[in-house]
Amino acid sequence: MTTWIAAAGEAAELEQSCPVGSYREAFHVPSAPSGVDGEAAYLAGNSLGLQPRSTRETVLAELDRWAEEAVRGWDSGPSGWLAQDDSALSSMARVVGAHPDEIAVTGTLTVDLHLLMAGFYQPVSGRDRIVIEDRSFPSDSHAVQSHVAWHGLDPERVVVRLAPRPGEDCLRTADVLDFLGREGDSVAMLLFGGVNYLTGELMDIPAITAAGHQAGAVVCWDLAHAAGNVELALHDWDVDVAAWCTYKYLNSGPGATAAMFVHRRHHGSQRPRLAGWWGTAPADRFDMAPTFVPAAGAAGWAVSTTPVLSSAPVRTAVALHDEVGMPALRERSQRLTAYLDRLLHALEATAPIEVITPSEPAHRGAQLSARLLPEAPLDAEAVTDALWQRHGVVGDARRPDIVRLAPAPLYSTFEDCRRAANGLEAELARR
């Protein structure tokens, strides 16, 4: 074993000196596989967060209500299902820097993006382009292309994919601003990821939002990898609309209900929207009127009945996030990521690997992505499988050559980071 990898003692010292402690005991942490002692080093919260221990009780309570009250569960007092739309809004609003009436916990991420684009992407002659990252998450690309085609336009012409400079992996904010300065008068909407799913780059959300508005465009953010990961101020940054899933850093469970943001200045607008019964005002919902009158705020963009069982974990998980607070979580996250970043950059000197996540803490979230170079003995999926089988480390891969490691601050530890770096070194040394 080479000597640069930090010893267990250093990881323990860093854990002890960190002013924000781990909340690991509040989560179910998987056991390591046979042959590896102890718990897993779970660094895949950017894909699926761990289950809070309190989630089971929350979901079982709703199953009990269903069993005992059946249809009466909808209006069984302040905790009835009809009241649950509002129960997570205050916590979620604080997590993303918004007012509660700007939040709706509803749908799933891509469905919410479709709902928002239906109202906020309104192409006209001369201003019909949508700008996205070239390395945006595939679902964003699919949604954008389908909306352009729905309007009878050619995605090849209308969808603008901004790519990093040759030889670089991350899209520079300066290049986004330069494009908007030159061609912004043709742009109807920007749809960017707040944190890039592949590289872990944190985009400059306020600067890009301001430039988009100066160009006359609507600005939409996919915050799947940002919500619960980095500090956000969606209202103060004047973001138009945003959507995010809740099963990554927000730990609400696989396929849990997503959320959307609609800035207050749009609440009284007459923009067209895809309407549904659940988007009507709660007080008027059971008038059963055929004419749609939207609820005030972001709730007016919801369409379907709240999925009670898949939204119950959201309340529990977001409350825990809110209890700790995003400033504290961000501080712990930056310390964890700085430690892992130091280890991975040291590994670059001796192993066929390069870190592609920005080195500046302000330009990244909790995720570090590393590319395996052509001379690496294994592809990314083989490496992540070996990390699990031989070291009990859970990361994930993006084909063909990207390994992603995300020390989520609520439950990841400095020891997890040390184990991941040690394991990666060992696997890349195999020939």
Q: What span, in angstroms and rounded, lies between the C-alpha atoms of 180 and 243?
A: 23
Give 192's strand partners. 221
Same domain (yes/no): 88, 173: yes
Place of tokens 């790519």: 163
Q: What span, in angstroms and rounded, lies between the C-alpha atoms of 298 and 12?
A: 45
Distance of CA 135 to the CA centre of its chain: 15
CATH number of the domain where residue 211 is located: 3.40.640.10
pLDDT of residue 3: 46
Same domain (yes/no): 421, 302: no
Residue 21 in domain: yes
Q: How far apart are the first and last CA of the chain?
A: 15
CATH number of the domain where residue 385 is located: 3.90.1150.10
Give 51's strand partners. 28
Q: What span, in angstroms and rounded, lies between the C-alpha atoms of 104 and 147?
A: 22
Do 188 and 127 contact (CB within 8 A), yes or no? yes
Helix axes 109-120, 138-150, angle to 10 degrees: 30
pLDDT of residue 378: 86
Last residue of a domain, one of 289, 324, 359: 324
Q: What span, in angstroms and rounded, lies between the C-alpha atoms of 50 and 310?
A: 15
Same domain (yes/no): 162, 228: yes
Same domain (yes/no): 215, 124: yes
Q: What span, in angstroms and rounded, lies between the C-alpha atoms of 82 and 20?
A: 37
Q: Mind listing the pLDDT tens digit for each residue in 357-372? A: 999 999 999 999 999 9
- Distances in Å between the Cα of 159 and the Cα atoms of 3, 130, 137, 145, 348 are 49, 5, 15, 7, 37
pLDDT of residue 2: 45
pLDDT of residue 77: 78
DSSP string computed for 317-368? HHHHHHHH-HHHHHHHHHHHHHHHHHHHHHHHTTSSEEE-S-SSGGGB-S-E
Residue 229 in domain: yes
pLDDT of residue 5: 54
Last residue of a domain, one of 273, 295, 324: 324
Q: Length of the chain in residues, anyone?
A: 431
Same domain (yes/no): 235, 380: no
Same domain (yes/no): 299, 364: no
Helix then strand then coil, in percent of the chain rounded to 5, is 45, 15, 40
Same domain (yes/no): 339, 313: no
Domain count, the chain: 2
Nearest of 325, 322, 365 to residue 224 by alpha carbon: 365
Q: What span, in angstroms and rounded, lies between the C-alpha atoms of 419 and 336?
A: 13
pLDDT of residue 338: 97
Alpha helices in 3-54 (DSSP H): 8-17
Do 105 and 257 contact (CB within 8 A), yes or no? yes
Q: What span, in angstroms and rounded, lies between the C-alpha atoms of 101 and 263?
A: 9
The set of residues, in sequence order, having a beta carbon less than 8 Å from that of 342 and lying 6+ positions away, is none
Residue 75 in domain: no
Q: What span, in angstroms and rounded, lies between the C-alpha atoms of 10 and 408?
A: 19
Q: Where are the beta strands (DSSP E) in 158-275?
A: 159-162, 187-193, 218-222, 241-244, 259-262
Residue 85 in domain: yes
Residue 68 in domain: no
Nearest of 318, 93, 128, 329 to residue 217 by alpha carbon: 128
Same domain (yes/no): 295, 337: no
Same domain (yes/no): 212, 311: yes
Q: What span, in angstroms and rounded, lies between the C-alpha atoms of 63 and 161?
A: 45
DSSP string computed for 120-144? H---BTTB-EEEEETT--HHHHHHH
Judged on CB neighbours under 10 Å (0-12, 13-18, 19+), 66 is: middle
DSSP 180: H
**How many other β-carbons are positioned within 10 Å of the β-carbon of residue 106?**
27
Nearest of 156, 115, 162 to residue 298 by alpha carbon: 115
Same domain (yes/no): 358, 415: yes
Nearest of 179, 163, 128 to residue 149 by alpha carbon: 128
Same domain (yes/no): 262, 407: no
Residues of the chain with pLDDT under 70: 1-6, 431
Same domain (yes/no): 98, 41: no
Domain that holds residue 374: 8-51+326-428
